[in-house]
Each structure stands twice: as C-alpha cells, then as structure tokens.
Chains A and B, each alone.
Chain A
Amino acid sequence: MAGKGKFIFAGLLILAAVVYLIVTNTGSTAHYFLTIEELRAMGDRAIGRNLTVSGAVLGDSIVYDPTIPRVTFTIVQVPADPKEVERAGGLAAVLHAAVNDPDAPRLEVVYNNVKPDLLKHESQAIIRGHLGEDGRFYADEVLLKCPTRYQEAVPEQAGGQ
C-alpha cells in the first residue's frame, strides 16, 4: 500500500502543479475575450488589460501605410456565442448583417504591422491587444477568417508578438 500511496501522492502533486500553472497563467497571460458591445460596457476599466476582441471588418475603413508598416481599420460588433450565430443564419450572414448595420457598435483598430492577407471586407477579425486611452484598440496580433466563397478558412497566423 505504501508503494501505491507514493504514486498517488506523486500524481496529485503533478496535478496540483499543473492546475497551479493553468490558473496563474490564465490570470496573467490569457486574454479576456469580449465582443465590442461588452468592451464598450466596461468603459475605462478595459484600458490597458490583455484583451481579445472579435468583429467584422469594414472594408472601406482599411488604411495601410506599408512604410511604417501600420494598418488601421474598423470592426463591427458580432455576437460571440456560436448558438446565436447559428440562429442568425451562420457566420457569413452575421458578418454581412454587421457591416451593413450603421447602428452596431464599432471599434477602430491600430495594428503596427504588415497588412494581413485576409484582412478584407466582411472577414471576421479576432484581435489580441489592449484598449488605448484614445479609445482605439492597439492590436498585437490579428487573426482572420473569411467564410465567404470558401468553406475552409485558410490557416493564417498573422503577426507574431
């Protein structure tokens, strides 16, 4: 029994260590995942935190200066809940509705990096970064997915740190 106890003890120790790793890192390096609406609701409390925001890209708003390089664009509120997306007729329909809704909350994004290949009208952007004091969102990383025309969004890791 002493033998078995040792293994159970070691196992529990490992498990505890891993749970500790997961919990602390979720506190420090994980990103708070928000929709634009929720971000707006947070107000100033959102400034400076690690955040991930998703939204539909407004094609006309994309401005790219390749010499810096910097790209700025505006994203529009889309629901984050997959069930809600499904009820609304799928991701493509939701994105299409979002960009054509002048009343939906919007967010201006600044990305000091190269313009990603998939950044275009009605693509879904998942943006990691933080909210600046000026109300603009400063992105460290932009992940994109465009459900139009192609079923499979191609793998694209835009940007790094």
Chain B
Amino acid sequence: MLAGVGSLILGLALATALYAAVAALLSLRRNDPRWAESARNGILSVAALLGLAFLLLLAAFLTDRFEIRYVAEHSSRALPFYLKASAVWGGQEGSLLLWSFLQALFAALALTPSPAASGGFPLPLSRRAGEGEGGRGVGVRALAALLLNLITAFFTGVTLFLSNPFAPAATVPADGLGLNPLLRHPGMIFHPPALYLGYVGLAVPFAFAMAALIAGEVENWTRAVRRWTLAAWLFLGLGLLLGARWAYDVLGWGGYWGWDPVENAGLMPWLTATALLHGAAMQEERRGFRIWNLLLISFSFALVLFGTFTTRSGMIQSVHAFARSNLGPYFLTAIGLTLVGSLALILRRRRLLEERRPSESLLSREGLFTLAILLFLVITGSVLVGSVLPTLTEALTGRRFEATPEWFDRVTAPQFAALTLVLALCPVAGRQKLEARRAVPGLVGGAAVAGLAALSGFTRPLSLLGFALVGMALGTALTEIARDVLARSRREGENPLVALAVLVDRNRRRYGGYIVHLGIALLLVGVIGTRMYPLERNLSLTAGEPAQVGRYTLVFEELRQDLFSDRLATWAVLSVYRGDAYWVTLTPRLERYANFDQTVTTPALRAGLREDLYVVLTGWSADGATATFKVFVNPLASFLWLGGLVFLAGGAVAFWPSTAGVRLPVPQARRRAIGNTVALVTGLVVLVAAGVAMWGPGHGATSQPSGRPLPGQVAPDFTLTLLDGSPFSLSDQRGKVVALNFWASWCPPCEEEAPDLQAVWEEYGEKGVTFVGIAYKDEEAAVRDFLSGHGITYPVGLDPTGQVAELYGITGVPETFILDGEGRVVRFYIGPVTADQLRADLAGLGVR
C-alpha cells in the first residue's frame, strides 16, 4: 500500500516535470503568458510531489515499515530516532530520491518567485511580469525552466525506474538489517545532504547559462545566478570538509583525504566551480571571460554527473562505491549530452561570445585570473586522469596502471603551489601590470611563515617552499585589508574595527573572498604539515610498559569492555606523557557489531596547535595484558579544520546579500537589519559549535589530576603513619630499594598478589629492601583483618583520603612501584604483580 502510493507519487512527479518542461517551451513558442503560468505551477507541483515522496519515505523509516525493501535493508527498530531519519539517505535509492527532491526544490526557488521578490534573479519567467525589462530575459527564464525540468525529470525517472526506494520487499522481515555502523555518526547525517545541495545547486547556473546561450543573451547570466553558484560552491566545500572530518574521526586510518575516486568526484566540481566564481567576477566587471565561464559551468555540471556515475555505476574501482551497476549507461549518456550539447552551443554562438579587448599583461589582474582558471582546470584534469587512470592506461598502452595517493600528491602538489603563488600575487596586481613595491608585504609574510615553520622544526626544503608561498598569500591579503581599513579609518575618522566592519558590509564579495583566501592558506598549512611530516607507529604494549612515539610516552594501563544489545565495546586506557610530564589519558575504542560482522574503531584524539596525537586500538591478546595500537602524530592538523571554518565563514560573508547602495523603506530596512543580526548570531553560534565539536572535550581524551612518575623520574615524597604507629617518610629511605604497593582490602586482585608480596618480603626484607603497603581509601579495621588473614608482615599505612595515590596518579588498585636507592622509579605494575617479576626487578637493582 505504502509502496504503491510512493511509486505513484514518483510517477506523478515525473509526468508533471515533463509537462512543465513542455509548458515552458510552449510559453516561448506561442508567446503566451498562460503557458508560462502553467509551467510555473508545474514546477511548484513537482517540488511538492517529490517533497511528499521524501516525507513518505521518512515516515516509513520512522514507523519501521519493513514491507519496503529499502527500509528493511537500511533501518531497524532499535535505531534511535535521528539515525532512522538519516538512514533515509543511507543508501542509493533514498539518496537519489533526496537528490531529485532537492533538484525540484531548487528549480522552484530559482524560477518561480515574482521578479519583484527575486532580488538576485532579475530574469522574469513570464512576459507579463517582466515587460519593463526587455524581451530577451523572458526567453532565458523559460528556457532555463525547460532545462531544469528536464534535469529533474532525469533524476526522478532514474529514481522511479532504476532505483526505486519504494520497491516492496519480497518477504516482510520482523526487523530490518539496521544502518551500517560506520554511518552512525553526526558527520554522516550532514555530509551527504551538503554534497547533494552543492551538486544540485550547480544545475541552476548550468541551466541559466545554457538558456542564456540559446537566447543569445550571453553577458548577464553570471550575475543573475551568482548567489546560486556561490551557494552550490559553499555547500560542496562544506560537504568535502564534513567528509574529511568524518574520515578523521571515525575511520581510524589517521588521515582525512585518501584521493579515492569518490572523494575526487566531490573535489572536481568544487575546483571548476571555484574557477567559475573567479571568471564570473571578471565577467561582471565587464572584462571578458565569457567563453571561460560557459566552459566552466558546463564542465562543473558534467563533473557532477560524473560524480554520480562514479559512485553508482560500479565501473570505477572505489571503496566508496555503491555496488549495483545498472545506472552507469544512463549517466554516461547524460554526461555525453551535457558536454556535446554545451560545446556545440558555445561553438554556434562563438560570434556573440567574441570580445575585442586590449591585450593585457600576464601579471595584470585579468592575466592572473586567467592563469588561476587555467590552473584550476589542469588540476581538475589531473585529478580526473588519476581517477580513471586504469581505464586510460589500458586504452593507451594495454596495461592497467593505478594512481596511488602518492601519485595524486606528487602530480597536484606543484600545481597547487603554482596556484598559491598566483593567489599571493593577485591582490597586488594592478589593472595593467604588477606593482613591485606592493609585493614587499608578501615577501615579508613568506619569510616570516617559512622562518616560523623552520624554527618549529619543519625544515624540509620543499615544505619550507610551501610555507613561504602560503606566507606570501597571507601577507599580501592581510596587508591589502589593513591598507583599506587604515585608509578609511583616517578618512572618516572611524575606529579601525568599525572601519573594517563597514568595509566588509559594503564589499561582501571582495572581503568574503579575502576571508576565503585566508582560510585556504591556513588549510594549506595543515595539508603541508600532515602530508609531509606524517608519523605512524604500530605498537604492541604490555600493561604498565611505557613506549615512546615522537616526544610522547604512552603507558597502556588496561582494557575495559561493555556489552550492549547490538555490540561489544572494548576500550583501552592509555596515559600519555609529553616530555616528562603527564599530559592526557586517551581511550581509543573498538566496537564489534555482531549483527554486521563488522568492527568499528573509534580513535582517541588529542588535538593541539602544533600536532594531533591520534591513537587507534587495533587488537589485544586473549588475557588482555597486551594490546596493539596504531599511533599517528599529525603535525599541524588543527590548521586544516581552522582553515575550513574560516573558509566557510568567508563564503557565508560573500553569500549574504549586501545592503550597500540599496535604499529600502524604513520598516523593510529594519526587518533586513534584524534578519542580518539573526544571521550573524546564528553563523557565530554554528562556528563556535563546530569549534567545540572538533577541539572540545570528547574524542576519547580525558584528564586526570596527575600521572604516574615514569621510570627514571624521582618518585614524589610523602609521609604517612604506619599501622604500628611509627611515621614513614619516603625521603628517609634513600639508599634502599623500595617497593610501594597501593592496594585495598576489598579488591580481589590485591588478595591474589598478597602471598607473592609477602614471600618476596620474607626473602629480601633483611637485605636492605623496604616494602610499604598503602591502603587506598580503606577502613583501618578491614585492613587489619586482611593483614592478619593473609599473614602479611611488611609495613602498611593508610591513605584514607587517597592523597598519596593521587600523587602517584594511580587509576585503580593494585599498583606497585619499584624505586631504586636514589628514589627513582625503576618500574611500575598496573594490576597484580607476581613474585617472579619482583625478584627479577630486585636482582636487576643488584639486591641479592
């Protein structure tokens, strides 16, 4: 029933989208506003129908309707509410439905508002509404409606006929399979929709560009869809960042970007869209770039389709890919149509696109923009070549070669470096040529950042070159901003901060661009650090045995386990020392999902400005005494996420409509001001929340008041009263070997080790070895009972408040510290100790 209704709605949506396309065409052909009105209604209906289908699927997930196969395969009764909701796009069918819905929604948003309310979209849909603006705009809007509806119809058709989320299950299971455990992460809830919003958003500028080209109106389309391009680009960027962060937090391989074909599929349209934003800025300044921009939007949209093709065709080797492969040919056809169609159109209109311009210097603003676009294109081309390298080399040489992450790093790094150089030069380029004097701040910035990096120990020449380039970009951008701010502040007598705020408010795109560039520069610092100075170790640790990784000392304490209904969680407790001092306690986890025959590792992460310490629990011995870990030290990783946040903030600034130069009636202006304030506050809250999520508590890192003294360190002094009434002070024991045993009368392992301790005491007590039992937060009566019950004769004192225990950073009982004659720790045992271990230690210290 539900399945039938869902499919019916999809069918209606498909028919309506096709109808709206025809209506848009007829409105153009017959020049009849009634057809335009009908197309408009059709577009709204498609969005509503697909929205309804999406809600229906959501409801099916929330109410556990396992008669629908897709629900049965991706959800289960035990899933919490928010995961059931996000499971809707956890598989191919649902994600395609979401895609279709968003496509229809964007078409409706872009096409249906009346021209008065549309602000950024001055192209009217019907002639009646837009009579004042000249006839051609009408054609553009109707043609865009035609194209967008065809795109929506394509995705809806694919969803309905090839990948229907409403397909009924052959048999109705009692419970669903559940969501793949790796996808049960907040990052996964937002990452796919963000990417889809980006992909779908690019269809709008593409449709308008092609419509403009057909109508012969080649100049204004970039301005008309500027905010759509910007929003799509921003969402793609957000999606990529979320995906990278999810990989870092969840996948436990220490990295954030593996040059997987599916990751590349998201990166490529982002790169071409970035180039388009630059080209569009030039075109809007009436400086040409018409052909560039049309090419760039066509490539961007074709790459969006290529991305879907990659993930869903199964024809490209990828670990991300959806396995079924019946969609491939359809998407290949769509890619071919997009490329051939748009290139043919550009060729046909080449007369219109020709621009006679005075020749410019390569190092002028236009020249550098051209270089930047070229670089974006060759980088995209390189990534594309790498993604299809096996197929490509097989066609060319008959042998299949596969591009490794190293291949991508080596091929793209020089190109990204060149792009950074262009970025550094751009702000100082004059209209005609480079002004040498203005390049000084860039050189200073480059020297400063490279110098700082070298002083911090990042001394490899290639990385220093990278840091210098980033420094140049930072230096010129910051100087340009400072120059403008100071000039305004002097001219208007404003406080520099006020001047900055006013400048940002009045030149959103320019300052948004500066902020984005700053973010990218910071991000590059992170990329250079993590890619060029990675440190990775596999460790096999026995409880209590310290190990050195970089400047950290790791002490594995113990394993703990917890059994949940669907999984067994195991986590290791590791105390970490930086240099000699206790720093943090890390608890990497490993969860085994019985239902999925799958383990999920949750790394423990302690982020710092200089580097991140990232520990993954990978296995353990049967008795739990030994555990294996993968330890990564990721230098400058925080800059990645910091840069990402700055980048997003800059994008948001550029996106937010400027109020400068617009005179609004008072009530409207007031509403606008309130809206701006709300947006600003929301933006800040989101940034702070993201910051807390990434650098705040959690991530398996906790802090104890203090850590244990490490082997080689002097044990902290303490004084307590022994049970026989005599005082005991550690500092009085110099010259003697000391065994400190923290224990409690209620603890079974303490009982287990007591006879061993007593035996060794009897052997060595007379040979200058001191044994002291420290009863941790215990009752005197219970302690006395325990001692007489087990025949313990070595001295024991009470630590009723746990003061001494805290001094020694113990995390449980029993723990034993062996100190040499100078009071230095030789070894400690976490958990019970055996007589043989003690004898070996004492022999090692020369006690016979």
Contact = CB atoms under 8 A, between A and B. Distances in A.
Interface of A: 1-4, 6-7, 10-11, 14-15, 17-18, 21-22, 25-26, 29-34, 50, 52, 54, 64, 66-69, 80, 82, 86, 90-92, 113-115, 117-118, 120, 126, 128, 141, 143-145, 147, 149-161
Interface of B: 73, 90-92, 177, 180, 182-183, 247, 251, 253-255, 258, 260, 262, 314-315, 317, 319-325, 358-360, 362, 367, 370-371, 374-375, 378, 381-382, 385, 389-390, 393, 399-404, 406-407, 410-411, 414-415, 418, 534, 536, 538, 540, 596-601, 616, 618-621, 626, 628, 630
Given A32-B401, A114-B538, A155-B251, A120 B597 contact: yes
Contact of B399 (A10, A32, A113, A154): A32
A113 B538 contact: yes
Contact of A157 (B91, B319, B621): B319
Contacts of A22: 382, 385, 411
Contacts of B359: 1-4, 6
6 contacts: A18-B415, A26-B407, A30-B393, A34-B400, A66-B620, A154-B182
Nearest to A83: B315
Nearest to A67: B540
B367 A152 contact: no
Contacts of B90: 152
Contacts of A156: 182, 251, 253, 319
Contacts of A141: 404
B320 to A, nearest CB: 5
Contact of A26 (B254, B255, B393, B619): B393
Contacts of A82: 314-315, 325
Contacts of B393: 26, 30
Say what secondary structure dominates the interface of chain B: mixed
B536 A161 contact: yes
A117 B628 CA distance: 15
Contact of B598 (A6, A29, A118, A151): A118
Given A10-B362, A154-B182, A155-B247, A25 B319 contact: no
Contact of B404 (A11, A30, A145): A30
Interface centre among B323, B324, B534, B628 (most CB of A within 10 A): B323
A151 B73 CA distance: 9
B400 A32 contact: yes
Contact of B323 (A52, A80, A144, A147): A147
Contact of A33 (B247, B400, B620): B400
Contacts of B324: 90, 151
A151 B315 CA distance: 15
B183 A30 contact: no
Q: Which 8 A-B pairs have the closest CB atoms?
A: A3-B359, A66-B619, A33-B400, A114-B618, A30-B401, A147-B323, A33-B402, A157-B253
Contacts of B601: 117
Given A10-B362, A29-B407, A82-B315, A52 B260 contact: no
Nearest to B375: A14
B15 to A, nearest CB: 28
A147 B540 CA distance: 32
Contacts of B600: 117
Given A3-B360, A113-B538, A66 B323 contact: no
Contact of A31 (B367, B402, B538): B402
A114 B320 CA distance: 21
Given A67-B540, A155-B260, A52 B402 contact: yes
Given A10-B374, A32-B401, A151-B91, A21 B621 contact: no
Contacts of A91: 314, 323
A152 B323 contact: yes
Contacts of A117: 598-601
Interface centre among B320, B358, B621 (most CB of A within 10 A): B320
A21 B375 contact: no
B354 to A, nearest CB: 12
A125 to B, nearest CB: 11
A18 B619 contact: no
Interface centre among A3, A34, A64, A159 (most CB of B within 10 A): A3
A66 B404 CA distance: 27
A45 B192 CA distance: 44
Contact of B540 (A31, A69, A90): A69
Nearest to B252: A117
A33 B251 contact: no
Contacts of B254: 160
Interface centre among B73, B360, B378, B389 (most CB of A within 10 A): B378
A21 B618 contact: no
B371 to A, nearest CB: 7
A87 to B, nearest CB: 12
Contact of B621 (A2, A33, A66, A113): A66
Nearest to B324: A151
A142 to B, nearest CB: 11
B618 A66 contact: yes
Nearest to B592: A117
A151 B385 contact: no
B362 to A, nearest CB: 6
A90 B381 contact: no
A69 B618 contact: yes
Nearest to A5: B359
B371 A10 contact: yes
Nearest to B626: A67
A120 B597 CA distance: 9
A152 B180 contact: yes
B403 A30 contact: yes
A154 B180 contact: yes
Given A67-B540, A69-B618, A86-B325, 15 more contacts: A14-B374, A15-B378, A21-B411, A22-B382, A26-B393, A33-B390, A33-B399, A66-B619, A69-B540, A82-B315, A152-B322, A153-B320, A153-B322, A154-B183, A157-B253
Given A31-B402, A33-B401, A69 B319 contact: no
Interface centre among A113, A114, A128 (most CB of B within 10 A): A114
A126 B317 contact: yes
Contacts of A26: 389, 393, 401, 403, 407
